[in-house]
Amino acid sequence: MKTTLPLLLAAGLAGAAEPASLCPEAREHLKALVAVDTSNPPGREAKAAAYLKARLDREGVPAEVVAFGEGRASLIATLRGTGKAKPLLLVCHTDVVPAEASEWATPPFEPVEKDGRLYGRGAADNKGMCAAMLSVLIHLKRAPARRERDVIFLAHGDEESGGNQRHLDWLLERRGEELAAEFGLMEGGNTVWKDGKVAEVRVQVAEKAYLDVTLTARGSGGHASIPREDNAVARLARAVTRIFEHRSPPVVSPLVREFLTRQEALADDETRAALRAVLQAGPEELDPAVDALEAVNSDFAAMLRDTITPTMIQGGYKSNVVPTRAEAVMNARLLPGSSPTRFLSLISAVAGDPSVAVSATVVPESPGPMPVDTGLYRALAEEAGVAAPGAPVMPFMAAWTTDAASLRRKGMVVYGVDLPLSDEDGGRVHGKNERVSLAAFDWYVRFLNSVVRRVAVR
Ligand SMILES: [Zn+2]
């Protein structure tokens, strides 16, 4: 650590309490977890849970494996504090998306260290976080310091299944009391790694809701030699195109306004100009300004609107037969405060064809942004100031969806704070040759350790 004494004093416990084995042990856990194939489907997270349990048992941290299917299990460990403050919950998931070994340069379930990076499925999503949390928890147990709150570690399975059937909800239904906490930390944020250091810490305080919309078109069908107007495939294609090309009215929430204002200072010239146009737009100018932003930065534009995009389409079974039915799935992401029911009726209207049915399993609205005037947010911001001097820390809303909403709906203040990833490495998440920079990983382990100590130890 290059931390100087005045900074140490300013940051209280940061750095000073960091044991030498913290990062090396975390790396060891990361490698061990990557070596366990927890591809979902089918999951097989029980092996990862068993690894975590063995490590925690050895340190005397009470941990329980919660089975939820053949070869599948999650783990809950609790390190007790005095109970003066309510618990802190650390959440990670142990399952990974499948990997096509033939497309990888290294075997995906073999941790391979090369040029300062660790390669392997899950290194970034989300085994790095599990490994960091495990090492932090173990070192907290070993430390003589008094903990004023319980620290709960949840390493759960079945996060990558997608959709709205969430294993975390299943766990909360059965083990909600044990998992109840004031604060939670999990994935879903965005920590930017650039030129070998942390450039920005985006703390996720809100996210969009996930909604799958099914379009079903019907027609009379028949012989392909006679084209008919009521062709189900053509009707479906038209409806999908209309919906995809439609743009929902933009909403600039205070959270997104603050985030984009701060991004304006960091962006390249083109993006800065597009952001400025959005931020200064009057009601009439907002829609075209967001369209223009979408052309230069679709990530930022997605924070300003409900979106919907086609992902699956099927219809027909033979090239000379017109089918009577064709179906498409479009995946929608809705802003906090957007009503899924209202969005669906809007989509039906845009489809503009009564022979195309629009349906969905309606999900609850995404919870509004988490408060940032909390002890945990202050700890994140101040410890990031020490660990990554000069790197801005800011709350943000993710256009993607995590399990955070399940915890937030229980009244917990949950932030998404991720392992630092470069743009290049971020692009490999769920793709081939997934990897993390080991320097970035160590940074995260230290940062998490200082934040957890700061909020849990007195
Ligand atoms: Zn993940």
Distance (Å, whole) CA 407 – CA 429: 24
* Dihedral in degrees, nearest 10, Cα atoms 310, 335, 98, 67: -130
Mean of pLDDT values over 444-451: 98
Question: What pLDDT is attached to residue 161?
Answer: 86
Distance (Å, whole) CA 315 – CA 283: 41
Same domain, 391 and 269: no
Do the Cβ atoms of 194 and 218 come closer than 8 Å? Answer: no
Cα(429) to centroid(ligand 1), Å: 9
Mean of pLDDT values over 372-398: 97
Question: What pLDDT is attached to residue 371?
Answer: 98
Same domain, 50 and 196: yes
Question: Which residues are within 8 A (CB) of 160 and not within 5 positions of it... i.e. 6 or more apart?
Answer: 40, 93, 95, 96, 97
Same domain, 338 and 229: yes
Return the DSSP state at 147: B
Q: Which of 289, 305, 321 is the last residue of a domain?
A: 305
pLDDT tens figures, 302-342: 999 999 999 999 999 999 999 999 999 999 999 999 999 99
Same domain, 337 and 294: no
Same domain, 287 and 264: yes
Same domain, 360 and 277: no
Same domain, 98 and 160: yes
**Per-residue burial over 366-385, b = 16 or more CB atoms within 10 Å of its CB, e = otherwise:** bbebbebeeebbebbbbbbb
Mean of pLDDT values over 83-112: 97
Same domain, 193 and 98: yes
Distance (Å, whole) CA 234 – CA 355: 12
Distance (Å, whole) CA 458 – CA 379: 13
Count Cβ atoms below 10 Å from residue 277 Cβ, excluding itself: 16
Cα(206) to centroid(ligand 1), Å: 16
pTM exceeding the 0.85 threshold for the entire prediction: yes
Same domain, 186 and 239: no
pLDDT tens figures, 363-382: 899 999 999 999 999 999 99
Same domain, 95 and 129: yes
Q: Which residue spans within 249-340 are E strands per DSSP?
A: 307-315, 321-322, 325-334
Cα(14) to centroid(ligand 1), Å: 27
Split into its structural domains, the chain has a count of 3
Question: What pLDDT is attached to residue 200?
Answer: 97
**Token reading at 313:** 């389409």
- Whether residue 100 is predicted with pLDDT greater than 90 in this model: the reply is yes
Cα(458) to centroid(ligand 1), Å: 32
Cα(239) to centroid(ligand 1), Å: 32
DSSP string, 12-28: TTTTTT--TTHHHHHHH
Q: Which domain holds residue 236?
A: 209-248+306-365
Question: What pLDDT is attached to residue 11?
Answer: 43
Q: What is the CATH number of the domain that holds 377?
A: 3.40.630.10
Cα(162) to centroid(ligand 1), Å: 10
Q: What is the CATH number of the domain that holds 352?
A: 3.30.70.360
Same domain, 320 and 256: no
Mean pLDDT score of the chain, rounded to an integer? 94
